[in-house]
Structures are given as structure tokens and as C-alpha cells.
Homo-oligomer: A and B are copies of this chain.
Amino acid sequence: LTKTLGTRKRRHRARRGEGERLREEILTAAEALLLDTSDEAAVSIRAVAAAVGVTPPSIYRHFADKTELLWEVCSRHFEALDAAMAQEESSDPVERLRRRGLAYVRFGLEHPEHYRIMLMRRADPGGMPADPGRDEKMLAATGFSRILDDVREAIDTGAFKPADPLIVATGLWIVVHGLVSLVISNPRWPWPPVEQMVTELLDVQLHGLAATK
């Protein structure tokens, strides 16, 4: 729907300027709803419409369906995740991995429902079905490609033992994801201090990967 709106001859017609603004308001409201309630189920088309002060059908002027809306909301946050990871810099690739791992965990725990939607539910079903570019998007969004680059560099410079970079990078992803998802799913459990957990875990993992001198 959205795509058919701004086409050909119509483009230089009408448009009171409200169009883009409402789209923005919808996204903002959906995001606020997700953050406030921490419950994906609370973010229904109807609830979002009510929050914006508009009727449900008007949502469909701007988003094809609910999936597209939710995806858009999360995409924005994950761009922020990628940015947060990009921001962590160091000349040492191993140190970079450590910092980026920490940034990943912090981000996930600060935005649990976004994280849940993107990485903790089934990919197949109603979710995001026939989108072939989804996986690539997700990998970019999770900063996985950055981890992969760092791992390659660590191996090339001899900081890490020779290994398959893809396996090593996936392993590091698993570690940070494991921490985030376990804590998100069981927030009431008395976890050891999270910062300490992730630091020690990454230490052990990175140390285990290091070339022995």
C-alpha cells in the first residue's frame, strides 16, 4: 500500500504535508507502547491507532500490515545497536571484540522487547515469512559482520590461533546472545552481576581463542 501512494503523476498532486508526519507519529507511538508495556502483545494495530489518536484503518495507509510496522520499529533500534558497536574502537582487534561484546549485551538488556522480537522468536511462521533479505539485514543489524571482521583480523595478525573465522565469530555471538536472552527471559532470577558475567565470559572465551605463546 505504502508504495502505491507516491507514484507517477500523483506525486505533484495534493498531499497536505500531514502524510509523512502521521507515519512518524505511528512509529513513535508503537515504540513507546513497546517500551512502556514491555510486551509485544500490547502493540496491536488498534492500540497504536488509539495512542496516536487516529482510527485503526488509517494505519494501513502507511504500513502494509502489522508485521511491517513492527519490523520498522525494531529496525531503527537495531541500527542503533550496530552504531553502538561501531563506536567501540581500538587498535587491538581482541580488545575491540571485548568492547563490542559488552556494548551488545548492554544494548540487548536495555531494549529487551526489541531484542526479543528480532532474535528470540521463530523466523518461519507469521513472523517475517518470505523476506529473503531478512537474514542479511539481521546480521548487519546485530553487528555480526563487525565481529566477523574483528575475528579475521585477530587471526591474521596472529592474536588468535588459526581457525575458521565464521565459527569463532558465531561462537562469540552465541556467548553474548546467550547472556542477553537468558536474562531477558528470566528477569526475576538472581543473576550474578551482569557486567561481571559478560566480562568474565568474554575473558575466558577470548583467552581460550588466543594463540599460546
Contact = CB atoms under 8 A, between A and B. Distances in A.
Contact of A188 (B124, B164, B171, B177): B124
Contact of A192 (B121, B167, B189): B167
A184 B197 CA distance: 24
Contact of A170 (B119, B192, B209): B192
A125 B178 contact: no
Interface stretch (A95-103, A147-155, A200-208): A200-208
A175 B186 CA distance: 16
Interface in A150-177: 164, 166-167, 170-171, 173-177
Contacts of A138: 186
Nearest to A181: B181
A164 B181 contact: no
Given A135-B189, A204-B205, A205-B204, A179 B181 contact: no
Contacts of A119: 182, 185-186
A185 B39 contact: no
Interface SS of chain A? helix
Nearest to A138: B186
A173 B174 CA distance: 11
B173 A200 contact: no
Nearest to A116: B122
Contacts of A208: 203-205, 207-208
Nearest to A186: B123
A192 B174 contact: no
Contacts of A122: 38-39, 184-185, 187
Interface of A: 38-39, 119-125, 135, 138, 164, 166-167, 170-171, 173-179, 181-182, 184-189, 191-192, 196-197, 200-201, 203-205, 207-209
